[in-house]
Structure 1
């Protein structure tokens, strides 16, 4: 085993092979773990500074499919009965379906595009909802739309929970009203843009 080993009088030292300099860093460990898992870190969620943390965290968890949907429960062997979407009953409930493919969500997105005067929101995954950078307009409008999209996801999730836990039917006009009210309240009071009128 020691046939190719050369002993020297130098002091012993540690060397970390995944790093080109031989130095151990957290960055090199993260890179190694992501490569091992076959994951790519190309999607970075931009947090909206004027939203409460609970809304930002909800969107972040939705992007990684880690909210407790029917399918997520089924994958974790949690028996909760039927795992179909509670808002449309047309497909299994995943975050992707709930926020992009569900009829309720599609109708909410149509209402938001007409209210914000932006082009139609067409999304195939939760990550596709980050369209605020493609909007033509001021930074203020882009920042407002980014938050409104996050609030819409939050409101759709709340409507879903009301169906599940309180047996209250989801009404699209109630979801849109909540998005508009929370959007105005939070943007006018929590953002750097003051003097926003209803």
Structure 2
């Protein structure tokens, strides 16, 4: 295509179907005419052995076909592997895309906490946490260590019957699946619950910063229960989520429907 555009610009080549004619603004003599005739002869004799129509090819896969899974692997490898956390994958099909994007931004500390904004020389009244006003508003503090956040996480952990929060970190929020590492079904749902919790903690923080109504820890915890149930139920055909069971014993919902059929 580039070559043809070049020749069209130089010689006025017009292509119609498989034939082409020459529209020149001036006559060509001598050596130039001979070379042009040779070029025209070569173009006329050229045969394309491929009978298929032109199409786009995906260069990152051997067969040239675009696949979402290949794109996901490239994103993980090129963008999400960093010194902060070494992740194999940062996706969970139980949550909306906006939560995945939130995770992708939070891991490399790209959510606009006051500490991160201050590093970019943005003038702020304060760099302290707007929720507790007791420490710098870093990503870790904003999602985990704030007194308000600790109350929310304690309720989430008790809901899942996991007891007290021990050595909880950003890495564990977004990747670690303990204590359900041996159960892929429970680990997927538990990871998604932690993502939902961190998302609503951040959303509640924004509500307070921008003058909207902020929730109490109890209200926020109830919202986490309701929205996680709503999102998971809408996106999962593998798990059977019963509302009453979800509130009382969420881990028991984390058994695939195929497994239940097999057992029954």
Alignment TM-score > 0.5, same fold = yes
The 5 Å alignment of 1:1-198 reads 40=83, 43-44=86-87, 45-123=89-167, 125-129=169-173, 130-135=175-180, 138-198=183-243
Q: Which structure would you say has the larger Rg?
A: 2
* TM-score where L is the length of structure 2: 0.56
Question: Are the aligned partners of 2:94 and 2:189 in contact in 1 as well (CA < 8 Å)?
Answer: no
- 2:212 and 2:85 map into 1 onto residues whose CA distance is 39
Aligned residue number for residue 51 of structure 2 = none
Q: 1:163-187: per-residue Cα shift (whole Å, max 9, x none)?
A: 0012434410121011101110011
For the residues of structure 2 that align with 1:98 and 1:42, how far apart are their CA atoms? 18
After TM superposition, give the deviation of residue 195 of structure 1 in Å: 3.1
1:100, distance to aligned residue in structure 2 (A): 1.7
Q: Distance in 2 between matches of 1:66 and 1:98?
A: 13
Contact 1:96/1:124 (<8 A) preserved = no
Q: TM-score, normalised by structure 1?
A: 0.73
Residue segments in structure 2 that go unaligned for 5+ positions in a row: 1-73, 244-264
Paired residues of 1:98 and 1:105 also in contact (CA < 8 A)? yes
Higher RCO (CA < 8 A, seq sep 6+): 1
Structure 1 equivalent of residue 64 of structure 2: none
Bigger mean CA deviation after superposition, 133-142 or 110-119: 133-142
Identify unmatched segments of 5+ residues in structure 1.
1-26
**Deviation string for 1:137-180 (max 9, x for gaps)?**
74332211110100001000011001001243441012101110
Q: CA deviation at 1:193?
A: 2.6
